[in-house]
Amino acid sequence: MKIIIENARVDEAESLVDVYRDAYEENEKLGLPASAPKVSIQEFNIG
């Protein structure tokens, strides 16, 4: 399997924030501390 990672575009920021929050939300429910589910679009610094 070949994995290709590309730079995100500004217009993808909102979707990426949703994916990022969802990825860490379950861990937070389990009591694992994390600030990742609270990340803002501005913190992505895409540009």
Q: How far is the C-alpha of 45 from the C-alpha of 28, rounded, in Å?
A: 24
Kindly report the pTM of this predicted structure.
Answer: 0.48
Identify the pLDDT of residue 25.
80
pLDDT in tens, 1-47: 898 988 888 888 888 888 878 878 877 788 877 666 666 666 656 55
Identify the pLDDT of residue 2.
93
Burial of 17 (0-12, 13-18, 19+ CB in 10 A): middle
All structural domains of the chain with their residue ranges: 10-44
Q: How far is the C-alpha of 7 from the C-alpha of 42, rounded, in Å?
A: 16
31 backbone φψ class: left, alpha, beta (φ>0; ψ -120 to 50) = left
